[in-house]
Structure 1
Amino acid sequence: MSDSDSDDYRVEEPVLAADDPMRAFIPTSFGKTTKEANIAAQIAQTRRQVEKPTPQKQKEPASDSDDSDSDDSESGDEDEAERFPVTHEMILKTHERAITSIALDPAGSRMLSGSLDGNVNFHDFASMTPTTLRAFKSVDPWETKKSASSDSHPIQHIEFSRHSGSVFLCVTAHPQAKIMSRDGGVVTEFIKGDMYLRDMHNTKGHVGEITTGTWHPLDQNLCVTAGSDSTLRIWDINNKRSQKDVIVFKSKAPGSAGRTRMTAVAWGVSSQGNSPVLVSAALDGSLVMYGGNGPFTRPAAEIKDAHRPDTWTGGIDISADGRMVVTRGGDGTIKLWDTRKFKQPLVKIDHPSTSDRYPMTNIKYSPDSRFIITGSASGHLHILNPANLRPEHVTPITPGIPLIAVDWHPKLNQILTAPPLHPAALEVMSRAPKKRHVDDDPSFTMDQSNLGISGDAIIAPGALSGQKRGGVSASGKSRDPYRPQVQQITPFMRSQPDEKHISENIPLSRMLHEDPREALLKYAEVAKKDPVFTGAWRTTQPVTQYAELSDEEAEGPEKKKVKR
């Protein structure tokens, strides 16, 4: 064949019929292909489908005017739903028991959820995709001090600091609150008070269970906790050995002996803007208000019968301008109060309470204080008008299951409810699903042979599913050859205090590592100025006299003493 004939040369391609089964095995394209995610379809899947009650049919045929009215009402309902961030939802099921508290950092990138199971789960919106709707970490605040027979303490309240969001306040059913980092580490653990002291002013911490707490609106180092010992304690997170201030509330209820439980607390800016205002509710039905910067010797205002006595008022919040306070009581009412005339409620409505099962049920203002949100015993989310407390919008979240915790984030403009957890749906669904890399599969990255594993491979404990051996032997050792041996905790070791326990709980234990001579000389000057043991004969103590040398003896050589 010559070169001139090569131009007319063509390769014949196989011709397949349209219904030929061989087409399933022939690729339509070559090279790397990418599959783009349909963001619009993902967001459409999160749109809430709320069932509306079907209208009853009338006997008489409806006229054209009735049709127009019905169309206007339907469009009005849609417009009303668009006013609030309730059109889309995304559900996270990360706890074994009911969720009692939720919190978001100021940036809106990290979310925390606390539950009755005693765990705090961490969720990161930045790394969350439609295929990874789960918590990336779960922390038990009392895991290190929990014995084998004791249970976890239920989470009462968690809240990020209002400024940086680097730490959060963790309140459990325990006399000690904790300040934890955003990654789950314990930064500060406040001290427990002496339960044998009657005067609560002299205790350095709570002597009863802490019910709730919150942060100072302006100072990022201050927080307040409310306890069942009838006190509010203000803490500096840099000092864990004692509270900064203690507020002892003396109940006037008959038979209370001056004590009651503090059930809720809120700390916000005042209406004048010069100092914060601190408002707290008690189990005896009282509502007290203090100046947020002290002194806290007596309340600025007190309402004795704000709610029915012996009912748990778990929800309380202050508006953004500090003028209004809203409370949700265990007596089945929601009341609105004015801080400038703190005597009678401005508005009062009936709202079924869930404090008998979940006393930590809250109520919150929206970020701009234009609305108030709270849950209900029937599982509905209620968005209320802050002027008259009438519902602006009611939507079902968990029908038949009480709605415990609600929150409205100012930056995301998303509402979170629990249970279940409804995080920022549009934020997460706008991302493509996460793809697994080939390196994530250890079977593709390790050199395996018929004899086992090559010497160059690095094996992590439990990395190979085929080599796992479950259970333990009769001697207590694990049957898995790659699992490290766990140290056995004997009853004798369990009863011995460790070095950390001694340094934190035994006074003056650090003096064991000090030099005795330096420790005594440190107090020599103090003992000279303020003698404690020799103060009784300080005025009658003889003065020590020393022989003084004359000037001649000081200048010249020593002379013999003259005999007399």
Structure 2
Amino acid sequence: MSDEDEDLQVEAPDLAEDDPMRAFLPASFGKRSKDTDVAAQMDRSRRIVDQNRAQVVKPRDRSQGSGSNLSSDSDGDSHDSSDDSDDEDEYPTSHQMVMKTHDRAVTTLSLDPAGGRLISGSIDCTVKLHDFSSMTPTTIRAFKSVDPFESKRSAASAEAHPINHIEFNPLAGGVFLCVSAHPQAKIMSRDGNVLAEFVKGDMYLRDMNHTKGHVSEVTTGAWHPTDKNICVTAGTDSTLRIWDINNKRCQKEIVVFKSKAPGVAGRSRMTAVAWGTAAQGGSNILVSAALDGSLVMWSGNGPFTRPTAEVREAHKPNTWTGGIDISSDGRMVVTRGGDDLIKLWDTRKFKEPLVSVEHPSTSREYPMANIKYGPNSTSIITGSRTGHLHILNPGNLRPEYTTPITAGVPLITVNWHPKINQIVTGSANGEMHVLYNPATSTKGAVDVMSRAPKRRHVDDNPEFTTDMSLGLSGESIVTPGALSGARRTGGSGRLKDPMKPQVPQQTPFMRSQPDAKHISENIPLSRMLHEDPREALLKYADVANKDPMFTNAWKETQPVTQYAEVSDDEEGPDKKKTKR
């Protein structure tokens, strides 16, 4: 290298340190790699909750009396905002990931045992499958949408069945139970394929013990706690049916519930069912609720000819008890009824509830609203009509933590996964919220928010994508209407109605089609499409009489029609005489 090369200097613009033009000047040569700021992405997903709307009850207040009213919790009376950080560490509710993949209310959801796959059901009659491993902050969507009864629906039929309940097998996460508003439940794989469809019973048989399957709508179901091949379904035909998923032609056991309430003729709809594990080596328990208000418990290992215990009018009759769950030790049962009450029961003294508190119910609009025990049964979670998530004490049902999820929109279904320590909720507006805490939660939404944002491809469908690129990457281009909240039709400005068929947009190929004038002038006989056939035939009536084409050979031998001459005064053969 010569001395002249060493003396060469590159002239750079003389800019001040605070000049904004420096942001557009390159700092180095070659391709620059962008590192994802994980901490910044996590901070953007932090939930911004108004402290006046979130209620926190300190742990020392948990031992107070049990007569609590949860309806006042949703109004948002703040007790102490100084302990919010402690509660965020205790409960995984500090951050959230919003998923908008359904068009209508989300009625049920479930996570596989590993916590890597989420399935959800809705009133829009579809099951959505989500995989956390394939999501990024800009591609939060379902990888598959399944209609369980699409193969049975004809092209002219508008029959559809909302999804009532879906649940992964806790012992074998490769399959899940799918229950819709139909007499036949299905066993589906984790990829959305139908593996088995249980048989439908004979609806003309009066005795339900002789039918091979449900004869009316199935409301819910549950898996056996220790046998991966056994599940139970509850139906509106007043029966519980235990199935072996390897034998879909007939149920393994049938439990017929005989209601003792007056005026129901011995039958009542079964609204909820739960199958609990054994307590200290005892037998499993099977608990179910009926529309007549009864709460019935059977021995999970059989026989099922007579219930072990039964509570009449456990909830108000003719109100839908949709939420029921059993604690991990099999001793406690919690129920949420349509009478705006949550009750706690002891299986050893199954006569009166231990605790009963008020809670606004959503069973009138959404009867599948549930209530679930948290990990190790240390908490109870449920939603409310006002869109709040309630975390209750399992001993006295007092609210320990209340936070708004979808304020003003009912929160229907909740689930707290013990392995990844994340809470998933489903609301009536079609949104699902995955609540987590980066310090205590693992995998799931934590991994999604830790990945680099994916650039949107031209083939990506914005209808199934939650766009967060505005807050994550300044170089991303967002087209008008690409945001999930701006789903509008053509130029009308009205929101899409999921019940109406969508009108296809006019493509360039359709615009290039020839007009009607060109068709009428250049295509022979094209005008006959708009011509009245009767008038066209009458034009040739005189020609057919003068020069018949088909009857000309025997024209001379045709018979002559002769009519009798009848005057006006005479009665012809067709005239009837007037009766006097």
TM-score band w.r.t. shorter chain: 0.7 to 0.9
Counterpart position of 1:108: 115
Which whole-Å CA distance do the structure 2 matches of 1:94 and 1:438 have between them?
20
Residues 1:137 and 2:144 are matched in the alignment: yes
Which whole-Å CA distance do the structure 2 matches of 1:438 and 1:78 have between them?
42
Q: In the alignment, which of 271, 277, 283 is matched to residue 285 of structure 2?
A: 277
Residues 1:235 and 2:234 are matched in the alignment: no
- Matched residue of 1:422: which SS? strand
Change (3 A) 1:436 1:193: same
Which whole-Å CA distance do the structure 2 matches of 1:89 and 1:414 have between them?
10
Counterpart position of 1:160: 168
Q: In the alignment, which of 373, 388, 391 is matched to residue 380 of structure 1?
A: 388
Which whole-Å CA distance do the structure 2 matches of 1:310 and 1:45 have between them?
46
Counterpart position of 1:257: 265
Q: In the alignment, which of 509, 515, 526 is matched to residue 469 of structure 1?
A: 509
Q: In the alignment, which of 406, 411, 421 is matched to residue 432 of structure 2?
A: 421
- Cα deviation, 1:291-337, whole Å, max 9, x if unaligned, reads 11111001011111101100000000000000000000011100000
Counterpart position of 2:134: 127
Which whole-Å CA distance do the structure 1 matches of 2:187 and 2:5 have between them?
82
Counterpart position of 2:49: 50
Change (3 A) 1:6 1:127: same
Counterpart position of 2:7: 10
Mapped contact 1:289–1:300 kept (Cα < 8 A): yes
- Matched residue of 2:41: which SS? helix
- Cα deviation, 1:321-355, whole Å, max 9, x if unaligned, reads 00000000011100000001111100101111111
Residues 1:408 and 2:416 are matched in the alignment: yes
* RMSD, aligned CA: 2.7
After superposition, where does 1:354-369 map in structure 2 within 5 Å? 354-369=362-377
Mapped contact 2:51–2:81 kept (Cα < 8 A): no
Cα drift, residue 471 of structure 1: 9.3
Which whole-Å CA distance do the structure 1 matches of 2:368 and 2:31 have between them?
54
Counterpart position of 1:40: 39
Counterpart position of 1:394: 402
- Matched residue of 1:126: which SS? helix
Q: Letter of the aligned partner of 1:256 in structure 2?
A: V
Cα drift, residue 72 of structure 1: 11
Mapped contact 1:159–1:170 kept (Cα < 8 A): yes
- Matched residue of 2:99: which SS? coil
Change (3 A) 1:50 1:467: closer
Which whole-Å CA distance do the structure 1 matches of 2:5 and 2:84 have between them?
71
- Matched residue of 1:187: which SS? strand
Cα drift, residue 86 of structure 1: 0.8
Structure 2 unmatched ranges of 5 or more: 54-77, 435-443, 461-505, 515-580
Which whole-Å CA distance do the structure 1 matches of 2:7 and 2:459 have between them?
43
Q: Letter of the aligned partner of 2:51 in structure 1?
A: K
Cα drift, residue 15 of structure 1: 4.2
How many residues align structurally?
431
Mapped contact 1:283–1:309 kept (Cα < 8 A): yes
Change (3 A) 1:8 1:268: closer
Q: Letter of the aligned partner of 2:226 in structure 1?
A: L
Give percent identity, aligned residues only. Answer: 65
Change (3 A) 1:89 1:226: same
- Cα deviation, 1:468-492, whole Å, max 9, x if unaligned, reads 7359999xxxxxxxxxxxxxxxxxx
Mapped contact 2:132–2:445 kept (Cα < 8 A): no
Cα drift, residue 47 of structure 1: 1.0
Which whole-Å CA distance do the structure 1 matches of 2:395 and 2:240 have between them?
30
Cα drift, residue 438 of structure 1: 12
Cα drift, residue 12 of structure 1: 4.4
Which whole-Å CA distance do the structure 2 matches of 1:104 and 1:432 have between them?
24
Cα drift, residue 439 of structure 1: 12
- Matched residue of 1:340: which SS? coil
Change (3 A) 1:289 1:473: farther
Q: Letter of the aligned partner of 2:279 in structure 1?
A: S
Counterpart position of 2:218: 210
Q: In the alignment, which of 72, 85, 88 is matched to residue 78 of structure 1?
A: 85
Change (3 A) 1:366 1:470: farther
Residues 1:434 and 2:445 are matched in the alignment: no
Counterpart position of 1:307: 315
Cα drift, residue 426 of structure 1: 2.6
Change (3 A) 1:325 1:28: same
Post-superposition, which runs of at least 4 consecutive aligned residues in structure 1 deviate over 6 A?
Answer: 19-26, 436-440, 471-474
Mapped contact 1:81–1:393 kept (Cα < 8 A): no
- Cα deviation, 1:481-510, whole Å, max 9, x if unaligned, reads xxxxxxxxxxxxxxxxxxxxxxxxxxxxxx
Q: Letter of the aligned partner of 2:111 in structure 1?
A: L
When normalised by structure 2's length, the TM-score is: 0.70
Which whole-Å CA distance do the structure 2 matches of 1:22 and 1:42 have between them?
27
Mapped contact 1:363–1:406 kept (Cα < 8 A): yes
Change (3 A) 1:95 1:244: same
Counterpart position of 2:30: 31
Change (3 A) 1:26 1:257: closer
Mapped contact 1:327–1:334 kept (Cα < 8 A): yes
Q: Letter of the aligned partner of 2:352 in structure 1?
A: Q
Residues 1:291 and 2:311 are matched in the alignment: no
Cα drift, residue 434 of structure 1: 2.6
Cα drift, residue 275 of structure 1: 2.1
- Matched residue of 2:100: which SS? coil
Mapped contact 2:392–2:399 kept (Cα < 8 A): yes
Cα drift, residue 50 of structure 1: 1.0
Change (3 A) 1:230 1:34: same
Counterpart position of 2:469: none
Which whole-Å CA distance do the structure 2 matches of 1:316 and 1:215 have between them?
14
Cα drift, residue 48 of structure 1: 1.1
When normalised by structure 1's length, the TM-score is: 0.72
- Cα deviation, 1:33-69, whole Å, max 9, x if unaligned, reads 1111110011111111111239xxxxxxxxxxxxxxx
Which whole-Å CA distance do the structure 1 matches of 2:456 and 2:365 have between them?
43
